Chain A
Amino acid sequence: MKERIDFARNAEAALRNPFLQSALRTAMVRFRSLRDAVVEEVPEWQVLREYAYATKMHVLANLDRYLTRLEANVAAAGGVVHWVRSGDEAASTIVDLARRHKAQTIVKSKSMTTEEIELNRFLHAAGVQVAETDLGEYLIQLAGERPAHFVVPAVHKSKGSIAALLSEKLGIPRFDDAAQLTRAVRGELRQRFFAADMGVSGVNFAIADTGTIVIVENEGNARLTTTLPRVHVALMGIEKVIPRLADLAVFLTLLPRSATGQRMTGYVSFITGPRRAGEVDGPEEFHLIIMDNGRSSIHADRAMRECLACIRCGACLNSCPVFERTGGHAYGSVYSGPIGAVLTPLYRGLDVGRDLPFASSLCGACEEVCPVKIGLPRLLLELRSRIVRRRGASWMDRLFVRGWVATMMNPTRLRAAGRVVRILHHLALRQRVPLPYPFSEWSKARDLPPPAGPPFRDRWRS
Chain B
Amino acid sequence: MRATLFVTCLVDQLFPQVGEATVSVLRRLGVEVEFPRAQTCCGQVAFSDGFWPEAQRLARRLLPTFADVPDIVVPSGSCAAMLREFYPTLFRNQPWLAEQTRRLVERTYELSEFLVDVIGRDDVGAYFPHTVTYHASCHGLRGLRLREQPLRLLRQVRGLQLRPLEGLEECCGFGGMFAVKFSSLSASMLETKLRAIEATGAEVVTGTDVSCLMHIAGGLSRRRSPIRAMHLAELLAAQ
Return the CB mask of B46-81 against A: 1 if under 8 Å, else 0: 111111101101100100000000000000000000
Count of A-B residue pairs with CB < 8 Å: 203
Question: For B181, what are the chain A residues with a Cβ–Cβ distance below 8 Å?
Answer: 8, 358-359, 397, 441
Cβ 8 A contact of B190, one of A401, A414, A446: A446
Does B173 count as interface, using CB distance less than 8 angstroms?
yes
Q: Is the interface of B mostly helix, strand, loop or mixed?
A: helix
Size category of the A interface is: 35 or more
B175 touches A362 (CB 8 A): yes
B37 touches A457 (CB 8 A): yes
In chain B between 179 and 207, which residues have their CB closer than 8 angstroms to a CB of chain A?
179-190, 192
Cα–Cα, bound, A437→B221 (Å): 21
Does B214 count as interface, using CB distance less than 8 angstroms?
yes
Question: For A368, what are the chain B residues with a Cβ–Cβ distance below 8 Å?
Answer: 142
Taking the closest CB of chain A, its distance from the CB of B139, in whole angstroms, is 7
Does A453 count as interface, using CB distance less than 8 angstroms?
yes
Question: For A427, what are the chain B residues with a Cβ–Cβ distance below 8 Å?
Answer: none
Does A395 count as interface, using CB distance less than 8 angstroms?
no
A405 touches B57 (CB 8 A): yes
Cα–Cα, bound, A402→B46 (Å): 8
Cα–Cα, bound, A347→B37 (Å): 47
Cα–Cα, bound, A8→B186 (Å): 11
Cα–Cα, bound, A368→B179 (Å): 22
Size category of the B interface is: 35 or more
B19 touches A405 (CB 8 A): no
Candidate in B19, B40, B222 with the most chain A CB atoms within 10 angstroms: B40
- Beyond A321-B171, A405-B43, whether A363 also contacts B142 by CB under 8 A is yes
Does A219 count as interface, using CB distance less than 8 angstroms?
no
In chain A between 367 and 410, which residues have their CB closer than 8 angstroms to a CB of chain B?
367-368, 378, 381, 384-389, 392-393, 397-398, 401-402, 404-405, 408-410
Cβ 8 A contact of A408, one of B41, B177, B179: B41
Question: For A452, what are the chain B residues with a Cβ–Cβ distance below 8 Å?
Answer: 13-16
Does B164 count as interface, using CB distance less than 8 angstroms?
no
23 contacts between A and B (CB under 8 A): A12-B184, A359-B181, A360-B175, A361-B189, A362-B139, A362-B176, A363-B170, A364-B139, A364-B141, A381-B50, A381-B86, A381-B89, A398-B51, A401-B51, A408-B9, A408-B43, A437-B180, A442-B180, A444-B187, A446-B218, A446-B219, A457-B12, A459-B16
Residues of chain A having any CB pair with chain B under 8 Å: 7-8, 11-12, 15, 321-322, 325-326, 357-365, 367-368, 378, 381, 384-389, 392-393, 397-398, 401-402, 404-405, 408-411, 414, 418, 421, 437-438, 441-442, 444-449, 452-457, 459-460, 462
